[in-house]
A and B are shown apart, each in its own frame.
Chain A
């Protein structure tokens, strides 16, 4: 039986779709069978990030309306074996889908695939409820800024109410430089507020923009720090124990300064 994991955040633009695309690809590269489900009905993006937009014929809405079989609606990835995409309909909107529909789709996919990653839309309304309906686990993506964290906090509360467990945190667009000069929250601050398990920290990486535009997920660029971070998260999802490297390269001086200010 496969695992259904919803990738969500509350706030928009923090990297849900990028994370879903990269984690799905990374899991497939590790030999797992994976389906990426785009739950952003009406504003679909995952097909573009995966570079599969020209191959989408059927969408999850066609499956729900019994226009086609679920298997027929899955788009095979052109780069890695075992990776499938279930696209969202662009012409419908979120109210056309019910949480039960998504749950049925997830339960069906679970019998065949190892991982089903559901890319949730931003917000806490219908789109989020649809996306999380069939989920066993959740990955909450946040950036280290107060507004994204407050929204992530809200989403975590809703996921806990829905008894989705475990909820793992990805801190995205993390900038060691900004943390170093004190203008960005560090990992400890974020975890102190959200109080859930951290599964990975993805550093700010301008390669994300080019990879999105080219439709090739970042994980294919071996040397990129973002790619390495996503590969590590994927390994952790498969149950491997890999320590989270400390991206905050503090010098001796700033460590001392930090120590003094915290103990003042």
Chain B
């Protein structure tokens, strides 16, 4: 079957099987490999993308379900610039192996679009659907706080370490 949608601002049409997952449409058919697969059960969140502005786990959605939708992946989040969340992850060491990072960034960006002044508790619960095995989440939380401050036009809090 054929599916037509908008991905990162570009209209695309692709041939898929009825059972093809959205994540495989993105990765295999469209070559957007920034979206990762970690668990195939919708639990780890590495595959998170935005569908019509809402973060969804693309391994639990069929490609056929996004007919006519607008999908944004990590590659299209800021189109070559850095989204404040991406900047925060770099500035506050929010990633190590980087595998969960695209999904984590997409979830955080979706959360901050709704609320640019979340508490630490709100951030922690807001990213509970995305698992990271490297960072213990400490610096992911700091990265999202950094991004929230930037989005509000505030000065981000100083990092835990001395800046050189």
Q: Does A associate with B in a complex?
A: no
Q: Which residues of B contact A (CB under 8 A)?
A: none
